[in-house]
Each structure stands twice: as C-alpha cells, then as structure tokens.
Amino acid sequence: MPHSGPSDAVEVKKRVLLLKPRGFCAGVVRAIDIVKIALDTFGAPIYVRREIVHNRFVVNELAEKGAIFVHEIEEVPEGQRVIYSAHGVSPAVREASRTRRLKVIDATCPLVTKVHVEAVKFAKQGYSLILIGHRDHDEIEGTLGEAPEATQVVSSAEEVESLVVPDPNRVAYLTQTTLSLDEARDIIHALKVKFPNIAGPHTQDICYATENRQVAVRNVADGADLVLVVGSTNSSNSNRLVEVSNNLGTQAYLIDNSAAIDPKWLEGADTVAVTAGASAPEVLVEDVINYLQRNGYSSVEEVEVMPENVRFGLPPEIVQAIGGAGGGQSVPVRQ
Ligand code: SF4
C-alpha cells in the first residue's frame, strides 16, 4: 500500500478569478463626474439629493470634497444648487425644486430617464402601468411619480395574481433597471399569463451594466467555491449579483471592503471569484484582492466575459458651465 506522507501531499494553489466587466458603469461614472465638475466649477456648497450612487465610500469621498447630501429637496436652502442622483427623481421633486428656485443639475442616468419616458408615454395612451421593482428603491420612487394614479408596483411573481386593473387589455409593464434577469423574466411571464395583451418596453429596461455583471457571475459561479461581491448593502444591482451566485449553488457575500470578509468564508475555498456592483469603485476591489493575496491566494486571473465600452455625455447644465466641451447629448454607445 503506498504511503502518503506530508511530502507527497499535492499543494492546492489558491486562486482568485477577477470578473470583468465589474464595478463602475457609465451612469455612475457620469454622476460622480457631474458632482466633481460642479464642485470645481461652482465651488461649495453643492447639494446632492440622496446618495449620488449607492456606495458609502463614494458618498463619503464627495462629502469630503464639499458636497452636501440631503434626503429631501426641502432641506436645500432656497436658490442653491442641487444635483439629482443617478437614480432619478419624480416630477413632484422637480416641482419642489422650482418652487424653491433651486439651480438644478440632473445626474439621472440616461437609462433611467428612458424608463421615465416610457412611463409617461404609456400613461398618456391610457395604459395601466405595472412597474416591476423594489418599492423602497429611489429609482422606483422616481419612476412611479411619473404616473402615480396609473401605476402599481410588483416585486414578485406571486404579487401579480392580486393585481386589479380597469381594462385587462390596456396594461403595460416596465422594470427597474437593476433587477435580476431571472426574477424579472419570471414576473413578466406571470404578467403575460394574467394579461395576454400586455405591452412592454421597446427594449428591456434592465440596463447593460446590470445584465453584463450578472452574466459574468453566471459564467464563473460553477467553477468557484466562493463569490465575493464588492458593493454597499443598499445597491440593488450588487445584491442581485449575490442572488445570482447563491441561486446557482455557490455561496456569495456582499462586502463593502476587505474588512467585511469573515476568514471562515475562505476555509476550503480554493477558488474565489471577485466582482463588484456598478457603484463600487475599483480601489475597493483592489483592497479585497490585496487581502486575498495576503491570505495565500497567490494567483489572480482576470476573466473577461464580454467587452464593455459604454460612455454617456454630460448634461447641458454642466456642458454650459465648462464652456461647451463634453457633449450635451446623453447617448449610450454600445459595443
Ligand atoms: S446601473 Fe445601469 S441604470 Fe444604473 S446608473 Fe449604471 S448604467 Fe445607469
């Protein structure tokens, strides 16, 4: 019988799979740029309604540079300058800004604006609107505000059953941009069963960044023992990445940074996949990778699942302020 001593043991190489695309999307880059440019151009104080993007690190960094974050427009002193977050606002917020004579800079992601435009269009055409999303999310609050009397929010396929509308043949659905593709598909299926003539958006509302990051996790989850998602707890798209992996049977955790890693998670985890939500900066990913390297993960392999090269132009308020450069049109460029 062969003897198997310590010298014969095969050393398992612990490795990290670093997913790409990960982290900042075009809407987040644009929103952060808008706050930085506004601070540089106009100087403090610059007020920002709600978290500009859902990441504590980013918000703290901008607050240190002089941005003042408020929850509601009423907290902004009359006549001051305010920036709307990437998640968008309802018409009621725009009206409140006008009443307070605020100088508004709109950092709403163009892909969120697309959903607002669809909501207005369907409501004008007399449709009952079903908005698929999470009721407590800033984006849903804004989109719902476009046609509150005509809109109902659903968050699960089970909720579809109890929907009541005036005319089942005049119903349309829209979705939050940062949903799980699988969950949205199930809810849309339930809606189509209940309302066979339901109308939908021209192209899906779930944005390219949300989709790409989920596809990347799906591609590697099977080959990993653990998935770490860098992102804040209130980031919808980051939470969805954790769900995608857990649904595939690979344990995943959402972490703000390396300090949130429980060493127990790494026990027996030879391959750790790392990704980041659309609002998580790369510096936090680097912090997590450094931690893993210090803990024996000597190999870091970047796994690019698909290329991503999307840019959005700056809003006219900023373009005018900086003298015309930067592109006034917010046009998504997909590659
Ligand atoms: S996650 Fe999507 S919708 Fe949200 S800011 Fe980024 S690109 Fe826009």
Counting Cα atoms < 13 Å in the Cβ hemisphere of 146 gives: 25
Report the nearest-CA residue for atom 2 of ligand 1. 207
Distance 30 CA to ligand 1 centre (A): 10
The annotation status of 257 as a binding-site residue, yes or no, is no
The annotation status of 279 as a binding-site residue, yes or no, is yes
Write down the pLDDT at residue 138. Answer: 97
- Residue 12 DSSP label: P
Question: Best of 210, 213, 330 to mutate for ligand 1, by most ligand atoms within 8 A of CB?
Answer: 210
Q: Which residue ranges have their beta carbon within 6 Å of ligand 1?
A: 25-28, 86, 109, 111-112, 177-178, 207, 209-210, 237, 278
Write down the pLDDT at residue 304. Answer: 98
Write down the pLDDT at residue 6. Answer: 43
Domains defined along the chain, listed by start: 15-24+208-304 (3.40.1010.20), 26-109+311-321 (3.40.50.11270), 111-194 (3.40.1010.20)
Write down the pLDDT at residue 311. Answer: 97
Report the nearest-CA residue for atom 5 of ligand 1. 27
Ligand 1: nearest atom to the Cα of 207: 2
Residue 335, C-beta contacts closer than 8 angstroms, at least 6 positions apart: 307, 308, 309, 310
What is the residue-level pLDDT of the chain in tens, covering all 335 positions?
A: 333 444 445 567 899 999 999 999 999 999 999 999 999 999 999 999 999 999 999 999 999 999 999 999 999 999 999 999 999 999 999 999 999 999 999 999 999 999 999 999 999 999 999 999 999 999 999 999 999 999 999 999 999 999 999 999 999 999 999 999 999 999 999 999 999 999 999 999 999 999 999 999 999 999 999 999 999 999 999 999 999 999 999 999 999 999 999 999 999 999 999 999 999 999 999 999 999 999 999 999 999 999 999 999 999 999 998 885 444 444 333 33
Counting Cα atoms < 13 Å in the Cβ hemisphere of 90 gives: 16
The helix/strand/coil state of 271 is strand
The helix/strand/coil state of 113 is helix
The one catalytic residue in 118, 139, 146, 308 is 139
Residue 154, C-beta contacts closer than 8 angstroms, at least 6 positions apart: 130, 131, 132, 160, 163, 187, 191
Write down the pLDDT at residue 210. Answer: 98
Helix (H), strand (E) counts: the chain: 11, 12
Ligand 1: nearest atom to the Cα of 310: 7
Distance 118 CA to ligand 1 centre (A): 17
Nearest to 87 by CA among 310, 228, 305, 279: 279
Question: Best of 112, 116, 138, 177 to mutate for ligand 1, by most ligand atoms within 8 A of CB?
Answer: 177
Task: Indicate the residue type of 69.
Answer: F
* Burial group, residue 11, by CB count within 10 angstroms (0-12, 13-18, 19+): exposed
Report the nearest-CA residue for atom 8 of ligand 1. 27
Instruction: Give the sign of the dihedral formed by CA 248, CA 203, CA 136, CA 255.
Output: positive
Write down the pLDDT at residue 276. Answer: 98
Report the nearest-CA residue for atom 7 of ligand 1. 27
Structure tokens at 124: 């004008």
Cα separation of 175 and 198, whole Å?
Answer: 14
Structure tokens at 193: 């069963």
Ligand 1: nearest atom to the Cα of 278: 1
Question: Best of 109, 137, 138, 174 to mutate for ligand 1, by most ligand atoms within 8 A of CB?
Answer: 109
Q: Residue 149 catalytic?
A: no
Cα separation of 328 and 280, whole Å?
Answer: 26
How far, in whole angstroms, is CA 276 from its chain's centroid? 10
Write down the pLDDT at residue 221. Answer: 97
The annotation status of 207 as a binding-site residue, yes or no, is yes
Write down the pLDDT at residue 324. Answer: 58
Ligand 1: nearest atom to the Cα of 27: 5
Please, are residues 66 and 39 in contact by the beta-carbon 8 Å criterion? yes
The annotation status of 3 as a binding-site residue, yes or no, is no
Residues 285-291: contacts with CB under 8 Å, at least 24 apart: 285/18, 285/22, 285/23, 285/230, 287/257, 287/258, 288/228, 288/230, 288/255, 288/257, 288/258, 288/261, 289/16, 289/18, 290/258, 291/258, 291/261
| Radius of gyration, alpha carbons of the chain | 22
